[in-house]
Amino acid sequence: MFSMQVSANFFPALGVAPASGRVFLPEEDQPGGNNVVIISHGLWQRRYGADPSLIGKVIKVSGIDRTVIAVMPPDFQPGFLFTGQYDLWTPLVATGPLRENRRSHLLAVIGRLKPGATLAGAGAELSALAGHIEEQYPGVDPDLRITAIGLHERLVAPMRTLLMVLLCAVGCVLLIACANVANLMLARSAGREREMAIRSALGAGRYRLVRQLLTESTMLSIVGGAAGLLLAVWGIDSITALGPGNIPRLNEVHIDGRVLGFTLLTSMLTGILFGIAPALQIPKLSLHESVKEGGRGSAGMK
């Protein structure tokens, strides 16, 4: 169980309101007024049995009595900002070394850009602020640098390479599977020469035969995509439970409309792309030649 010390404007900056209770007040992140705590929805259920009267009660946090003032919503987990799953939030009080040691870089700062502001502009202002600190306290922290990093970059950058490698590996597996199915369909179409010749003799044009084979391959790929989607639905809980904790927002992975649309589109394109080769191999044999070939095959089997 992890706890996090936050300033009074932490939750307003994120735009998150508690499911019940209130956020910290400005005076509660000052010395002497910080004996309060906000707990996660998961801890509220696991440890306190979803007691609706818990707000206002005193609990022990690291041996200190703190009053519960809020329970956060079920879907709130700032692990997208900081590694770990947090269950407790207490006021951040700048005392001792945290306040006096100007070389202490222990805090992470988050903020919102005002309307019309850019990340580059914010970075320039922070760099100027770092310069002012050096001017005011020369030699205390001459290497101080303050930079602004976008939330998306903060979330994705550490895992981007790994996830791209994983995506490429999955794509290669898909291509290999499709190529194998295409080879099987080519072999199957070679064994259907007589059928295709008979259909052609009965009036089916080449375009109609190609359309038939493409329809078969597309339906096969859609069934395969549906089976894969069903397997994904069953496996999501296992993947999120067994996955490493450093993958951002892993606990938010779910099947939505975009996944369904991507699966359908990929299945259709796969069926068309890898079904076109067998379709274009439709032999131009006459009915007489195909029946003769079939007769020789039947005689050879006796």
Average pLDDT value for the chain: 79
Q: How much is the average pLDDT of 276-288?
A: 60
Judge contact between 17 and 23, C-beta under 8 A. Answer: yes
Lowest mean pLDDT among 19-33, 60-74, 83-97: 83-97
Q: pTM score, two decimals?
A: 0.59
Give CA angle at 265 (262, 269), nearest 5°: 135
Closest to 18 measured CA to CA, from 74, 61, 82: 74
pLDDT recorded at residue 299: 43
Q: What is the CA radius of gyration of the chain?
A: 32
Strands 36-39 and 86-91 turn out to be: antiparallel
pLDDT at 39 over 90: yes
pLDDT recorded at residue 44: 93
Residue 37 banded pLDDT, cuts 50, 70, 90? very high
In sequence order, the 6+-apart residues with CB closer than 8 A to the CB of 166 are: none
- Mean pLDDT for the stretch of residues 144-155: 79
Phi, psi of 68 (to 5 degrees): -75, 120
What is the rounded CA–CA span in Å between residue 269 and residue 272? 5
Confidence of residue 66 (pLDDT cuts 50, 70, 90): very high
Phi, psi (degrees; rounded to nearest 5) at 13: -65, -35
> Residue 302: what pLDDT?
45
* Contacts of 23 by beta carbon, 8 Å cutoff, 6+ apart: 8, 10, 11, 12, 17, 38, 70
Half-sphere exposure of 215 (CA within 13 A, CB side): 6
For range 168-188, the mean pLDDT: 82
Q: For residue 166, is pLDDT > 80?
A: yes
Question: Which amino acid, 74?
Answer: P
For the cut 70, the answer to whether the pLDDT of residue 238 exceeds it is yes
Q: What are phi and psi of 162, to 5 degrees?
A: -65, -45
Among 92, 109, 88, smallest CA distance to 2 is for: 88
> Which run of H or of E encompasses 132?
helix 119-136
Distance CA(273)–CA(178), nearest Å, equals 9
pLDDT higher than threshold 80 for residue 298: no
More confident residue, 169 or 129: 169
Residue 222: φ, ψ to 5° = -65, -40
Q: How confident is the model at residue 300 (pLDDT cuts 50, 70, 90)?
A: very low
Burial class (CB in 10 A: 0-12, 13-18, 19+), 253: middle
